[in-house]
Structure 1
Amino acid sequence: MYFQFANVLVFFLLAFVLCGLMLGLGLLLRPSNPHPGKLTTYECGEPPSGNAWINFNIRFYLIALVFVIPVATVFRDWIARGQGAFALAEITLFVAILAVGLVYVWVKGDLEWLKRLPQYRGEHAAEPLRRDAA
């Protein structure tokens, strides 16, 4: 029984040795041409402008999800091919799932581009500044 586990162990050891050998040979045989241009962000051949790490607004993703619904119209080809009732049931289920997601996002208010921050009206809320106070 232990012999079967030994075969697996030898297989993994051989795999690690071969991977290390290939990486080591690549490290030794490749040419070394350091250049500061290789450390910049690649922007399709154009000189990079700004930082590569930008804050991407999640609302773009939500708007993209809303436009998935027209993809459901692709399912019409199934009906044209004669798959009838099964295709209709699957299309209905797919569109229903998309509609539930859309209603959830709509009720949550994520389709509004600019959200308003909730106002805290508790006992520890800061009082607004008064201009007439001198």
Structure 2
Amino acid sequence: MYNIIIIVLSILAVTAALVFAAHFLPSRKLDLENGSPYECGFDPLNSARVPFSFRFFLVAILFLLFDLEIALLFPFPQALFIFNSSHVLYIATLFLAILLIGLIFEWTQGGLDWAE
């Protein structure tokens, strides 16, 4: 019981120290750019219709798709211990084959070529 009280008091002390440090340490100098609602580097007074590279968008979407599919492979090693390993290996191989077919398709269509 005393360990829990010590942990809670330690957490509260660290939290209070961080709050005080965050309040007193930073400089409060606000210039025109930091005070504006747009700190992203774009001028908010100009048009928002800036030309955008479609290739960059395509590569970003492909990265998200393949990254998500790779993240779906993480449970397979654990599934080898829980389920029948031959079925898990078959499903993982099928999944990787679908990924490989998608990668080859994007490669042949020129979706991975940055420069034309």
Please, what TM-score do these two structures have when normalized by structure 1?
Answer: 0.42
Larger radius of gyration: 1
Structure having the higher helix fraction is 2
- Tell which has more relative contact order, 1 or 2 (C-alpha 8 A, sep 6+): 2
